[in-house]
Amino acid sequence: MAQEPRDAALEVIGPEEPEEDPARLLACRAVTVTYAGLRAVSSVTFSVRRGEVVGLIGPNGAGKTTLVNAMSGFAPISEGSITLGGAEISHLPPERRAHRGLARTFQHGRLFMDLSARENIELGALAVGCSAREARRRTDALLEETGLLSLAARPPAELSHGDQQRVSVARAVVAGPAFLLLDEPAAGLPAESLAELRALVEQTRVGRDAGVVVIDHNVEFVLDLSDRVVVLDHGQLLAEGTPSYVRHHEEVLAAYFGSVPSTRSASAAPPGDGDAASGTAKAP
């Protein structure tokens, strides 16, 4: 499908767009998602390459989770197309997308409460066709990496919120996905756990050559993690570019704060530009 012309207001300053190999792309083209007549996502086009981390940010209700739902098959799209490795997946059921290498986490974990933490993670590998032995090996490795080994036999309800988040990310990573969609992975995590999460995402990106899309209300966390950032507002693509470009994008700031703050450096300057930067650059 031909790419839709972007909104005139949209500016793109980001990494040089090389000739993309479709086999290494997860791409949304003019994707629209409609709920009961309301366009939750409107003609959004963006892509993520394998080995790249793309942050998806925007104020509450911007359509971030809806877009991830559409990509993972959790919500149907009404227009546009989604391709994975060059193949159209828009109309594939979620499990077929998972088998093609798309894994995701959920904002509220959606762990299986009747299964143990270990079983939750193992399921992620078994479901995409790993042998029982391989699933166990991968699960053991991830339990070790995430420090969950001693809690492996417990059901998620007995774990802290942070540990549940770890299990949720591990369940997605264990499948060895080509593309990983992380919906609020840092929500509720203590600051000291963010580095560990960052390391896990980094390992997935580099070690497994996976493309990662990450949504989080902790904008600093997203900007810090991402190679490129896509900003949504009211279901539309507002801006796309490098983290430092997005930090200074006036429309992005306006979308977050209602208007461009008079002291920009105090509200959304990149780390290093001012001490107040990281503390305020969060979604309201």
Partner 1 sequence: MTVVGYLVNAISLGALYALIAVSVGLVFAVLRQINLAQGEVMAFGAYSLWLMRSLPIWLAIVLCFAICIAGSLVLQVAVFRPLRGASALATLIVTFGVSYGLEALWLVVFGPNGKPVSMLIRLNNTVIGGAIALRWITIVDIGAAALLLGGLYALLFRSSLGLRMRAVAEDFSTARIVGVRIERVVTVAFVLCGASAAVVAVLETVQTPLVTTTLGLSLIVVALVGVVLGGLDHLGRATAGGFIVGFVNSLLGSILPEQQLVFVTSLTFLFVVIVLVVRPAGLLAPRGVGVERV
Q: Name the site residues for partner 1 (rule: CB under 8 A).
A: 72-74, 93-95, 98-99, 103-104, 106, 110, 112-115, 119, 122-124, 126-128, 132, 135, 171, 175
Smallest distance, partner 1 to C-beta of residue 209, A: 19
Q: Which is nearer to partner 1, 107 or 265 (CB)?
A: 107
Tell me how far, at minimum, the Cβ of 130 lies from partner 1, in Å: 9
Q: Least Å distance between CB 96 and partner 1?
A: 9
Q: Which of 82, 4, 10 is nearest to 240 (CA)?
A: 10
Q: Given the complex with partner 1, which of 24 and 104 has the nearer CB atom?
A: 104
Q: To the nearest 10°, the Cα dihedral for 149, 150, 155, 156? A: -70
- In the complex, minimum distance from the CB of residue 104 to partner 1, in angstroms, rounded to a whole number: 6
Nearest approach in angstroms of CB 102 to partner 1 is: 9
User: Could you tell me whether strands 211-215 and 179-183 are parallel, antiparallel, or unpaired per DSSP bridges?
Assistant: parallel
Burial class (CB in 10 A: 0-12, 13-18, 19+), 254: middle
Nearer to partner 1, 124 or 185 (CB): 124
Alpha carbon distance 73, 235 (integer Å): 18
If the CB atoms of residues 26 and 281 are measured against partner 1, the closer one turns out to be 26
Q: Which is nearer to partner 1, 1 or 113 (CB)?
A: 113
C-alpha distance across the termini of the chain, in Å: 36
Q: What is the dihedral of CA 43, 78, 49, 20, to 10 degrees?
A: -70
